[in-house]
Structure 1
Amino acid sequence: MPSHEKKKSTTQIPPPPPPPPAGPRSPLSSLTSRIRTALPERFFLSAPEKPRDPAPEGVYFFYGTLLDPGMLVEILGRDNSPELRPAFIEGFDCKLWGQYSALTPCSDASGRGVIKGAAYRVGSSEDAEKLAEYETHHYMPCPCEIKYIDDIQTPIAEKGFGFVFVGNKMDLKDGIFNLRAWRKLMGKK
């Protein structure tokens, strides 16, 4: 090898050492110790994805993000807003799963929880599947009786479906879903 050529070094530089531990009064130290000692059920646990039956056609009760007509247009691939009819269901509670609403069977003995929302007639199995895919495996269509609030149209009540939360109940918290705030958070007008 000629003397003017230099050999390339094959030595790798080791990574820098980890930062020193936070002092006992550091908020990071407190947070780190709480995380390390927390029970596993305190963390978000995703529901295992289970095979589900195809989503049925019929009337669906919406109570959260699906109350947004623009969201329905996007999910269903429509050109115009679908017709939503004001309605309510009984026997369910509504909690929050992160920023999303989560319908659950009523937790009190009376079973008289009332959830207001809107109903939409899903006319094809393809549309029902699109809605089920949007809701993810954390929700499943569940039969319910939908009661209409408007006095103009008939029927005043009919059998239908609502997407019920089937994920880890430990991930739910009490709270009220605010569609206007959610739209703002998502950058929608």
Structure 2
Amino acid sequence: MDQSTGTSTDFKPTLLFFYGTLRIPSVLKRILNLSEHPILTPAEITGYKIKLWGPYPALVKCEDPAAEGSVPIAGSTYNVTNQTHLQRLNTYEGANYTLESIVLHEISPETGERVAKEGNIYVWNGLPDILKDGVFKPEFFEKK
């Protein structure tokens, strides 16, 4: 591990899709201890639905995406470039979430063009019966 950069020889930069509190720039900046606001790119995924764990969104895989309408979930992508940042994100998400690979679509803010990319998402890994239906309210977490 290179202590100055927080990287290890087996770490590969990864594109993460955020759909909840981590897509709020001030929250992500604080979690990663960044000096500037992070660069987030609009994106969306399908094949999942959002439930709530208290005020926090929890992504769960759709049993049958076609039957559930496969509604796109809006979010943002962020390129994690060092191991320390990934560890901080994993700690923030905790044991109730796990990383899964996914094909997502980044959306160009300038043109609206959708580009498919490989990335990772945090998916609910806790007890399913503690999740509720509802709408995530990001304003509850944004700094005023």
TM-score of the two chains, using structure 1 as the length reference? 0.64
- Selected match of 1:75 from 21, 25, 31: 31
Higher strand content, 1 or 2: 2
Deviation at 1:124, TM superposition (A): 1.1
- The secondary structure found in structure 1 opposite 2:78 is strand
- How far apart are residue 71 of structure 1 and its match? 1.0
Cross-structure match for 1:166: 125
| C-alpha separation in 1, matches of 2:79 and 2:18 | 11
Q: How does 1:92-131 map to 2 (within 5 A)?
A: 92-110=48-66, 112-131=70-89
Q: Give the C-alpha shift of residue 55 in structure 1.
A: 8.9
Structure 1 gap ranges (5+)? 1-53
The counterpart of 1:156, out of the listed 104, 115, 118, is 115
Root-mean-square deviation (CA), in Å?
2.2
- 1:142 is aligned to 2:100: yes
Q: How many residues align?
A: 132
Question: What secondary structure is seen at the aligned counterpart in 1 of 2:52?
Answer: strand
TM-score scaled to structure 2, two decimals? 0.83
Deviant stretches of 4+, over 6 Å: none
SS in 1 for 2:15: strand
Where is the helix percentage greater, Structure 1 or Structure 2? 1
105-114 or 155-164: bigger deviation = 105-114
Q: Which has the larger radius of gyration?
A: 1
Shift of 1:151: 5.7
Identity %: 34
Gaps of 5+ in 2: 1-9
Give the conservation status (yes or no) of the 8 Å contact 1:106–1:113.
no
**RCO greater where, 1 or 2, for CA within 8 Å and sep 6 or more?**
2
